[in-house]
Structures are given as structure tokens and as C-alpha cells.
Structure 1
Amino acid sequence: MPHPVVVVGAGLAGLATACRLAGAGYEVTVVERGHQPGGRTGRIERDGFSFDTGATVMTMVDLLEDTVAAAGSRLDDLLTLQRLDPAYLAQFADGSRIRVRNGAEAMRAEVAAVSGAREAERFDDFVEWLRELYEIEMAHFIDRNFDSPLDLLSRPVPAARLLALGGFGRLGPAVRRFFDDDRLRRLFSFQAMYAGLPPSSALALYAVITYMDSIAGVYAPAGGMHAVPTALAEAAARAGVTFRYGLEVDQIQGRGGKVAAVRLVDGEVLRADAVVLTPDLPVAYRAFFPELTPPRGVRRGVYSPSAVVWHVGVRGEAPAGRAHHNIHFGSQWDEAFDALIKRHELMPDPSRLVTVPSATDPSLAPEGCSTLYVLEPVPNNRSGIDWDEEAGPMRERLLGFLDAEGYPTDVVCEELYTPRTWEHLGMEQGTPFALAHTFAQTGPFRPPNVERRRPGVFFAGSGTVPGVGVPMVLVSGKLAAERVADWLDGDR
């Protein structure tokens, strides 16, 4: 009989774990409190509009292909993807624009046209640096389980090369060494925000996010981003995974010091030789292991800033010249990050992301209308901001911003997500970006994906290794599945 495994949560991490475990022959059940797959990559349907409530940027499709293949399916049979060109449209405070083009050659031409031949030459060097960083990090430090920081010593050559490339320096200064044009510096370093840090203090090794966004390509799934978890759930189901929706886990039960079962809130008990938990780690420890002292990173971790996301369905179409993803940079940079991250205040001159998924897939809005996703970085709930009071003024500022930038503003329906919303949805400190990627919360220093005091308990998701973002969460599912396989088939 195959070992039974229960995965708690049908978000991307849980689905990736389930695909890999089912493909390896385990008997997998996924328990999800919602009524559909997706988790943070959720969906709202309202008045003919479809809103993706989580991530909007899809990169590193090869990781998604690999996950589906592990379950015995082909991604092309489950999901249609369109590579975006431009991947982003960046607009700066002086009114100038830079398109992040599809492919290094096209992007080089864009840099030459906007910033000159010298900056284009430097872009060539920048791309080579990004590629080498990515290849070293992915193979040796991201797609790998660590049992302790000492494991880093087992790969001295890649570690030395990463050091030589400046990976342990700071991202902002590293990018400045390549470019004189301040617009390019911002364009190729703002991704540090995904890691929860300002570019000036984020480790340069997080330039791998820049590689994913700016070099490897950005894709739009037909049907919106929610089509990604839907495809993963279908691949898992075809491989034999059982899904139990609309149910919550009450308790992880043990026998003889090992995991034995999962009890649901309605009293049903599911046999399990291993359990993979995908909620935020502090939430998981409070819910299932209140008797344990969580790892230090869980107890005292530094959390990323949060974001306000305004989902708005409007009459009218996006103005000509706008892209699927549009980044509107404010005039301030270091000052804005200082306010957000150091002082836990709203950015005085915020940079914002406006995604218009209906521009690529008209099925996401009624005819003649648009679906907009407007994101502004804000402090997490450490700030003490009262979002009951601040939500209204924030909404009006975002509406004024859209109007000033020429977007349609005849609102049909809307939903405003604030840090209070994220916390209500189970995200620690009201941030969907989990623990910040400080040095002390990176790689083997990040909270581990195994709870050795409760043999058979494992974790996946953005709060554990390797970290935040759709690609990293897919990898987290792979790493968790490897932990489970090692436990069940060998090291028990």
C-alpha cells in the first residue's frame, strides 16, 4: 500500500507538492478550506469581471512545466500561455517611458533607443552577470534542501563564484555599477521589493528576480493567473490526488512519536504517514503546535512590507500605449523606501503597479470594459495604521492617480485589499510577501521546511525555503516533496 500523505492548502505550494508526491506514487489528499484551488492566487467573479486576487506576474514557466510533468501531464494540455511583449511598461516621473522587451536583443535595442549606445553595451554585461548569478543560485542554493548553514560548505566552488560575482554585496550599488541612467537603475532593482527590502540594502543575489522578470520573460495565462492553480489541480487530480474542499484541519495527530492522522473540524480523521502544511508558518504553529516553541525566524522574523491592491472593474478601455503590466515610478526613491521600510509609514511619493489583464484576455471583462489591478506598497501591520480609517482616503488617491494617468475611472465594481484583509486571510503581520529576505532569513537561515520535533511534519510556501514569489513557491513544493520522500522511504 502506498503511504498516505495529507497536504493542507491548495495554493501553489500545496499543489506543487501534491503533483510531485502523486507522481512519485504516494496516496495524496489535499485539504483546502476554500471551495476551489488557488490559495493566495485566488479569484473574484463579479458583474462579469474576473479579478485575480494574488500574484499577477508569471515567470520561469519551465518550473511550472517541470511540476506538471512530475505528475505525468503536459502543461500545453492544461494551460495556454502568452509571452508578453513588453513584459512591463515603465513610466517615470519626468514622463519618459521604457518598455521591458521580450528577449535580451530586443531589450538591448530599447536601452539603446532610450538611454544611448553606451548604456546598451553595459546592458550586455549586465545580462551576463544576471545569467551567471541565476545559474549558480538556482542549481546550488535555491533548488536544494539544507539541513544546516554548514551545508553551504559542501559546495565551496559555487559559493566562491557567487562571492566573486558580488552576490553578497548590495543590489542597488551592484546595479549602479552597470548603468549611469538612473531610470535603468530603478528598472532593474525595484524587484528587491518582492524580497521585502529596499534595493540599497537587499543582497545582490536577489538580482535573480530581475533575471526572471526582465530576461527570462513574463507570461499571461489565458483566463488570468487563477488558471495556473486550476491547471496544477487538474494535473494533480489526473495523477490520483484527492481534493477535499470547504474543510479545515483541526489537529495533527500522532502515534509513537510520529504523524498518524489529520483530524478535520467536523471530526473526520484522515490517515497520514506525513503531513505538509502550507499556511504561513506562524499561523501553522499557533493552530497545530501551540505546545512547541517555533524556530526563531518564526517568532522574531522581520516581515516584508505589505500592499494595498485595488481590484476595479471599469467601463472603458486602457489608453493606447499602455501594456499588460505598467509600473509608474514616483520621483522619490530612497526617501520613499525609508518611509515604507524604516519608518513604517505610507510612501510620500509612491511607485505603483497597474495591471490590465483584460487588455490581453478580453474575456476577463464585459465588452467595452476593463479589469484593473492597482498595487501600492504599504507598511505591514507593525505600522499601526488603522485601515478602517485609511482605506477610504487610499481608494480616493488611487482613483485620482488612475484618472491623472488616463486610465478609465467609471467604476462598475471594486474590491480593496489592505493589510487588514491579508491578515484576515491568514497572512502574518498583514503581508502577502511573508518574511523579508534579509541575510538572516535567506537560504539555510530561513525557517526550515521540516519540524523534526514532530516527525512526519513538513512545510511549503513563501515563509519557508526558498522564499517568496510564484517560482520560489513552486520550488518550495518540490523541496517539501523531497523531504517527505526521504522520510517515508528511507530516513525514518
Structure 2
Amino acid sequence: MNKKVLIIGTGLAGLSTALRLTTDGYEVEMVEKYHRPGGRLNLLEKDGFKFDMAPTFFSMSYEFKELADYCKIKMPFEFVELDPLYSVHFEGDDRSYLIHKNLKKLAEEFKKIEPDLEKKLERFLKSAGEIFHDTENIVIKQNFDSLLGYLLQLTRVPIKHAPKMFYSMWREMEKNFDSFEVKVIFSLVGFFLGATPFDTPAVYSMLNYTELVHDGYHNVKGGMYKIVEGLVKELEQRNVKMHYGVEIERFEKTNGQISAFYDQTGKKWAADLFVVNADAASFRGQILQRKKYAPKKLDQKKWTLAPLTIYLGLDTKVTNMYHHNYFLRRNFKEYAGKIFKNTIKLDKPYYYVNIQSMHNPAYAPEGKESVFILCPVPDLRYKANWDDADEIADAIIADMGERTGFDFAGHTESRSVYSPKDWESAFNLYQGSGLGLAHDLNQVGGFRPSNKDEEYKNLYYAGASTVPGTGLPMTVISSRLVTQRILKDHGTLS
């Protein structure tokens, strides 16, 4: 007899979990607050332009292949490997730096400011690779039943890596490189985690290994939303029903288990098992009313930076830019130290620009361009009022035009700006945090909210704020870990 699973949220973790559970014989139904599936991996369509709303590239592509193999399907989308990976522009420089995977080409880019970079990188990446391979299966791809179990598991990690848990990524850069530019560029992976390299442990330098050596970065042919469309098409063939405009507000319990959730209209959503693909920390507080996750407790946790996103439809093609671009300044340490708590002006922020129609021409009408801009900003705890979002966007667009020599403002025919408040409203992101809980040592592994509920035996979690963490491949791994939990507790039904 089939067991029914209700999945709350249709982000990548939710869709991947649904695909795995249907493979294992479970009946799955999904509910979603937004008007289309995908969560933050979503699509904006406006004025004839298309935009990937948030993620624009990913690493560890083999995790998607594992998902397809597990579910016995062909890959429902096609990878496009990036090389060069991205371009970096420093304020005041006449040139930009292209980050190549080939270390000889990369060293050539920096030969005037960082002598012997190839040798330095080989040494640095060897160490980063050892951390990655020594922790991937022991820590990253594991469920933990208790904090003690997690700590015992850590004892299996070679002791030589222990010091890097206790000093910052920036210090690791200072130990390996000399020039300001190189140290900044290779610490950008800290920002990928929604934090800064000054408060991200040095162990996360393993991400430099994944970008330059292990798997690189990838986009998807036809746009990132093809990931969602491909998974949804497969789920539709498996008779998985998805309901949109559904916001869960309360629950019902019977004999120590969840029997149903209720949405904003009072409609009852019953099932045998439940998987929450919303924030695993804030859901416990806001819906389950757990004291441990009350607003005051949640606000004391470390959350990732919030997104301010800008979507421009241009009436012409952009010249002299790469697909993926970072625009940085020289006050890196000051900016990183002040941006979280909104103690620095946002008139000259750091930001990332993706010329999306360079990868995917169908994203813009012929002869035109789709441009996505992401500026990491303080979350709503530190900046609650975003009436100045358009003003900040104006400053970013003007700065980008000045530094590239291209008149973005003058060629704009479509423009949308999403503030942290908009992101919070659309996707229930706690305080507008872009990637959920940060990756401090006291918020990773066994310290992170578990993917199995502490009280209700039929309630589970998947997504960025549970194990193993943030990022597209991490949420795919999350779907595998929560599925393992469910199969252990309830068995395979197929």
C-alpha cells in the first residue's frame, strides 16, 4: 500500500526529493507559495525578456547526474561548462582579470602582480583538494542522529585539517598569496556561501578546488530554469500534483505525529509523511512554534547576506564584457566587515553581473540583451526599510557603465528591482536572507537544524538551512540525505 508524502515547497531540494521518493514507490503531492515551481531557482519573464532570478552557475555537476541515475531517468537538461569561469573588475583598474581553469593561463593573467602564481596555486589547490576529498563522504554527505555522532564522525577527518577550522579563509589566502587582487579573487567563494572570507573558516577553501580543478562551474543550455522544467516534466509523468499560491500557516497532530497542515484559506493538506522544503530553522519557529526557534532565537543566529537583484532588458548588445562578472573595490576588508550590519553606505557596493543572453540567446529578443545584477546586502534585521532600493540600483547601474564604458542606463528598456523585502515576501526567506543559515562552525553538520524533526516522527526537512548546506549541489545532496532518512524509517515501497 502506497504512502503519501506532502512536500511543502518546490525548490530544487523539494523537486529532487519528490523525484527520489516516487522512484521508491511513494505517492507525492507538492504545495508552493509562489506562482511557479523552483523556489529561488526561478524565472522572471517581462517585456519579452527572460531572466534567471538567482542562481546563474553551479559546481559539482555530478550530483545532478547521481540524481538522474538514482531515479532511472536521462539527464533532463544539458550542462554548459564555463571556461573562463568569470571576470573580475577592480575599481581604478583599466583592465579586468579572467579566471581560467588552466593554471598556466591563470598565472599569465596575474604575472605582473603575483610572480610564480602557478606554483603557488598548485600547492594551495593540493591542500584544498585534500580537505574536500577527506571530508566529502565523512561530513558533507552524511546524516547525523546526534551532536555526539557528528563530533565522533569529525574524528575520522585527518587531524592535519583541524587548524583550518579555527582561522579564516582570508588568513589562508594571506598564507598562500601576496597580491591584494589574488587574495580577494580566491576568497570570493566565501561570498558564494553568503558570508565573507573574514568570517568563513579556512576549510571552505576546498571550494577553490571544486571551481578550478574538481568539476568547475556550469550553466545550463537554454537557461538555469531548464533544471526546474526538466524535473517538473518528469514529475508530471509520475502523476505528482503541484499546487501554487498555497502558504502553510498551521498544523494538526495526532498521536505524536503530524496529520495535516492547513494553508491560508483553511484548506487541509493531509498525508502520511511530510517534507518541508522551506527554511528548516524558521519553519520550526514560525509554523511549529518551537521556543528554540522563536524570533529572538532566530535573530541571534548567523544568516547569509540578503539579495538586492536587478533585471535589465537592453535594446542592444553589451560589448567588452564576459558572461559572468564581479565588480569589486579596494576597501575589501572594511566593506566585508561592515556590510552585514549595514554600517557602510550602499552608494558604492560590490556586485555581480551576468549577461544572461550571452549564454542563452533566447532570453532576449534578437539584437537585445538580458542582464542580471546581484548585490549582496544586509538582511532585514539590520536594514528593514528598502524604499531606497531603486536609488541603490541607479548607483550600481551608473557605476557599471562608468567602469565598462557601456551606457547601461541609456539602453535600458525593461527594468525590475527586487529588494530583500520582495525576496522575503515571494519565497518566505527569513529576514530576506538569500541562502538561509550561514556556515559558521556552530551551524554546520550536527549543529545545523536536522533534516528529521525532533518531535514528530513523520516530519522531515530538505533544503539550504538543513544538512549539508547552501548551494544547488548541496540541496541535491540534501534530497538524497532526507530520502535515506525516510527509507530507513518507512522502507522502500516500489
| CA 1:286–1:47: 2 relative to 1, 3 Å | same
TM-score, structure 1 normalization: 0.91
Q: CA deviation at 1:313?
A: 0.7
Number of the residue aligned with 1:412: 413
3-state SS in 2 of match to 1:477:
helix
Q: Distance in 2 between matches of 1:454 and 1:299?
A: 24
CA contact (8 A) 2:323 2:355 kept: yes
Number of the residue aligned with 1:231: 230
Structure 2: which 5+ residue stretches go unaligned? none
Q: CA deviation at 1:159?
A: 4.8
Number of the residue aligned with 1:455: 457
For residue 207 of structure 2, the aligned residue among 197, 206, 209 is 209
CA contact (8 A) 1:250 1:288 kept: yes
| CA 1:300–1:47: 2 relative to 1, 3 Å | same
Within-5 A mapping of 1:15-414? 15-75=15-75, 78-93=76-91, 94-101=93-100, 103-105=101-103, 107-110=105-108, 113=111, 115=113, 118-151=116-149, 152-154=151-153, 156-163=155-162, 166-215=164-213, 216-265=215-264, 269-290=268-289, 293-294=292-293, 298=298, 300-320=300-320, 322-342=321-341, 344-347=343-346, 349-388=348-387, 390-404=388-402, 405-407=404-406, 408-409=408-409, 410-414=411-415
| CA 1:240–1:485: 2 relative to 1, 3 Å | farther
Number of the residue aligned with 1:428: 430
How big is each residue's C-alpha offset from its partner over 1:442-483, in whole Å with a ceiling of 9 and x where there is no partner?
A: 221112222121221111111222211112122222222222
CA contact (8 A) 2:346 2:392 kept: no
Q: CA deviation at 1:61?
A: 0.9
CA contact (8 A) 1:297 1:447 kept: no
TM-score, structure 2 normalization: 0.91
| CA 1:310–1:413: 2 relative to 1, 3 Å | same
Q: Distance in 1 between matches of 2:222 and 2:104?
A: 27
Number of the residue aligned with 1:483: 485
Q: Distance in 2 between matches of 1:227 and 1:362?
A: 14
Q: CA deviation at 1:259?
A: 2.8
How big is each residue's C-alpha offset from its partner over 1:148-187, in whole Å with a ceiling of 9 and x where there is no partner?
A: 22223145232524326x3443211112211112211111
3-state SS in 2 of match to 1:243:
strand
Q: Distance in 1 between matches of 2:44 and 2:231?
A: 19
CA contact (8 A) 2:114 2:178 kept: no
| CA 1:440–1:293: 2 relative to 1, 3 Å | closer
How big is each residue's C-alpha offset from its partner over 1:359-415, in whole Å with a ceiling of 9 and x where there is no partner?
A: 121110111111111122211112235211x12321220221122123433111111
Structure 1 segments, 4+ long, off by >6 Å, are none
| CA 1:338–1:291: 2 relative to 1, 3 Å | closer
Amino acid aligned to 1:416: V
Deviates more, 1:230-239 or 1:394-403: 230-239
3-state SS in 2 of match to 1:309:
strand
CA RMSD of superposed structures (Å): 2.4
Q: CA deviation at 1:358?
A: 0.5
Amino acid aligned to 2:462: A
CA contact (8 A) 2:307 2:419 kept: yes
CA contact (8 A) 2:390 2:417 kept: no
CA contact (8 A) 2:349 2:396 kept: no
Amino acid aligned to 1:326: N
CA contact (8 A) 2:198 2:336 kept: no
| CA 1:342–1:392: 2 relative to 1, 3 Å | closer
Structure 1: which 5+ residue stretches go unaligned? none
Identity of aligned residues (%): 26
Amino acid aligned to 1:144: Q
